[in-house]
Structure 1
Amino acid sequence: MKRTQWTIHAERLVDENRHIRLSTVDIELPDGVKFTQYVAAMPRCAMTLVLNDNREVLLMFRHRFIIDKWVWELPGGYVDHAEDVAAAAAREVEEETGWRPRTMEHVVTYQPAIGTLDHPQEIYLARGADLTDTAPDINEAEDVRWFPLDEAVKMIDRGEIVGAATVVAVYRALSLAEL
């Protein structure tokens, strides 16, 4: 089977900062059609599904102003340039929730919107966590709670969990036989 790639003719930077690089790219399809596509690139993110011995998942309740909605989601965030991804994921859990993961296991890497966005997402599974003296960051979460994994699926169905990383992580956790 012959594979034909899209041809990139030019790329122009629109804006760039430490969180995003936005450009326009002039593309030509294999059939000759040409168009300009916006492309966004964002740093790697690492999120952690922390699961305790009771099969409960640690979630944060927060307002997401872009969709103007209060939602439950996993702790996580950007990976600093030279930072180990698992270490970044564990750091984010502690900073955002006050819990320190006992273990870190990579479970899946995915791209949430590859048609327009290059934004690698890495999800880790932590089996157990210890409460620390670190207070959760008030700017990150209004509430932090443990929910049964099965309840998290119902929260997705009810629209209480809408973020791709949390949805992917919950369903991925359900597919792991050893949980």
Structure 2
Amino acid sequence: MRWKVHGERALYDTPWVRLRSLDVQQPDGARVDYTVVRLRDVAVAAAVDGERQVLMMWRHRFVTDTWAWELPMGLVEDGEEPARAASRELEEETGWRPGSLRELVYAEPAAGITDARHFVFRTDDARRIGAPTERNESDRLEWIPLSRLAGMITRREIVSSATLVGVMSLLLDISAAGG
């Protein structure tokens, strides 16, 4: 069953979010207006060290007024490749530079209402190059043992969907690798 889009009109635009009304035909033949949110892509970096720890940021999200651990992440700029954005965000937010990156997982967190795409990358060879240059991202950085992640999820210490997808994929990746 496939929906067909006959047209799209802008309802609201900012550099962060675009709200659109789509003229769609549903599989049963009905034509309806369907509101969607168009967002820029997000790149996420999971830096893992030789001691089976992942670099995370403790941060406040004012929209939901919550504190939680997150992986470094940010918007993919126009014309920028997601891997480059993940590398840039890791460096800006933590002061660590990846030597290499490989895609860990791709996700569409709410495909029924938004076109948001999340690209999560893993690096095992990040090196410290200095202090974070982005001063508005987190209160502190910490290398978290992978063995603690499941409990942190259960306790709602990790709530961001991009981080949840990233750390769960990281745990699957570690498990699949046999350790």
Match among 128, 136, 139 for residue 139 of structure 1: 136
Matched, 1:91 2:85: no
1:75 equivalent in structure 2: 72
1:64 equivalent in structure 2: 61
- Partners of 1:87 and 1:40 in 2: CA distance: 25
Match among 112, 126, 129 for residue 126 of structure 2: 129
Q: 1:136 deviation in Å?
A: 4.8
Match among 145, 148, 152 for residue 151 of structure 1: 148
Q: 1:34 deviation in Å?
A: 4.1
- Partners of 1:87 and 1:167 in 2: CA distance: 21
Say which SS state the counterpart of residue 50 (structure 2) adopts: coil
Match among 30, 35, 41 for residue 32 of structure 2: 35
The AA in structure 2 aligned to 1:167 is L
Match among 153, 158, 161 for residue 161 of structure 1: 158
- Partners of 1:30 and 1:125 in 2: CA distance: 39
- Partners of 2:163 and 2:54 in 1: CA distance: 11
- How well do the aligned residues superpose, as a CA RMSD in angstroms? 1.6
Say which SS state the counterpart of residue 117 (structure 1) adopts: coil
Q: Deviations over 1:102-136 (max 9, x none)?
A: 22111111100000000111000010321222335
The AA in structure 2 aligned to 1:129 is A
Runs of 4+ in 1 over 3 A off after TM superposition: 32-35
1:45 equivalent in structure 2: 42
1:22 equivalent in structure 2: 19
In structure 2, the CA distance between the partners of 1:135 and 1:110, relative to structure 1 (3 Å rule), is closer
Q: 1:138 deviation in Å?
A: 2.3
Q: What TM-score results when the alignment is normalised by the length of structure 1?
A: 0.91
Alignment of 1:92-111 (within 5 A): 92-111=89-108
- Partners of 1:135 and 1:173 in 2: CA distance: 24
- Partners of 2:14 and 2:113 in 1: CA distance: 18
Say which SS state the counterpart of residue 78 (structure 2) adopts: coil
Q: What TM-score results when the alignment is normalised by the length of structure 2?
A: 0.91
1:12 equivalent in structure 2: 9
In the alignment, structure 2 segments of 5+ residues that lack a partner are: none
